[in-house]
C-alpha cells in the first residue's frame, strides 16, 4: 500500500539503546497515543544474518565502515521489533520518531525528547548514532522489512477500541 490515507503496516524497531535505557514503555505509548495498533511484536538479540537481512543495502550505500558500526551497535543488546497498523502508519510512525539525527529531531518526537547525539559527534568518536528507534521509510520498505522480521502467521488481525474512531 502506498496511499498514506489507507490503513498500512510498518516496522518499528526499538534499538538496543532504547531497551537498555528503559524507554520501551514510553516509546510504545507514543505509538498507542497515535492510534497505531501493535499487530506483531518480538524481542530479539540480532545475529549477523538478521542484521544483514535488515540492513541489506547499508554497506552499498554508505560503505563497510558504516555497516560494521551499525551491525555492532544493533547486535550489542536486545531489540524489540514491532509491526504497527493504522491509517497512514508509515508516515505517522516516521513523524512520531523524528529526524534520523537526534540533534535535528523536533521536540515532541521520540528522538527529539530522548536522544541528542549529533552525527558529527558520532563520526568524530567512531560511534553509531544512538537514535533509539528504526521506522520503515516508505510502504515498500515496510513490506520488505516486515517480511524479514515476521511471518504472515505472526501478524495478528484484531479489533481494538480505537477503531471506533477511525472506521
Can you read off the three cell numbers belonging to residue 82? 514491532
Residue 85 in contact with residue 137, Cβ under 8 Å? Answer: no
Residue carrying C-alpha cell 542484521:
51
Query: Residue 134 catalytic?
Result: yes
Give the residue among 96, 125, 86 at the shortest CA–CA distance from 5.
86
Q: CA 27, CA 97: separation in Å to the nearest integer?
A: 9
Can you read off the three cell numbers belonging to residue 122? 558520532
Residue 26 in contact with residue 115, Cβ under 8 Å? Answer: no
Q: Which of 93, 134, 135, 139 is catalytic?
A: 134
Q: CA 1, CA 10: separation in Å to the nearest integer?
A: 10
Residues 6+ positions from 19 with CB-CB distance below 8 Å: 43, 77, 78, 79, 80
Active-site amino acid positions = 134
Amino acid at each position: 500500500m502506498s496511499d498514506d490515507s489507507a490503513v498500512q503496516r510498518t516496522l518499528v524497531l526499538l534499538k538496543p539503546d532504547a531497551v537498555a535505557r528503559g524507554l520501551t514503555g514510553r516509546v510504545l505509548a507514543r505509538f498507542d497515543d497515535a492510534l497505531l495498533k501493535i499487530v506483531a511484536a518480538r524481542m530479539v538479540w540480532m545475529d549477523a544474518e538478521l542484521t544483514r537481512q535488515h540492513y541489506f543495502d547499508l554497506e552499498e550505500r554508505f560503505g563497510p565502515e558504516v555497516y560494521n558500526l551499525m551491525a555492532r551497535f544493533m547486535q550489542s543488546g536486545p531489540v524489540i521489533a514491532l509491526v504497527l497498523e493504522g491509517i497512514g502508519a508509515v508516515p505517522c510512525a516516521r513523524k512520531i520518531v523524528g529526524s534520523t539525527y537526534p540533534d535535528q529531531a523536533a521536540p515532541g518526537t521520540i528522538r527529539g525528547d530522548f536522544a541528542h547525539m549529533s552525527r558529527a559527534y558520532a563520526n568524530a568518536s567512531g560511534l553509531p548514532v544512538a537514535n533509539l528507534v528504526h521506522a520503515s521509510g516508505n510502504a515498500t520498505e515496510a513490506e520488505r522489512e516486515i517480511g524479514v522480521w515476521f511471518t504472515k502467521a505472526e501478524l495478528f488481525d484484531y479489533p481494538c477500541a480505537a477503531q471506533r474512531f477511525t472506521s
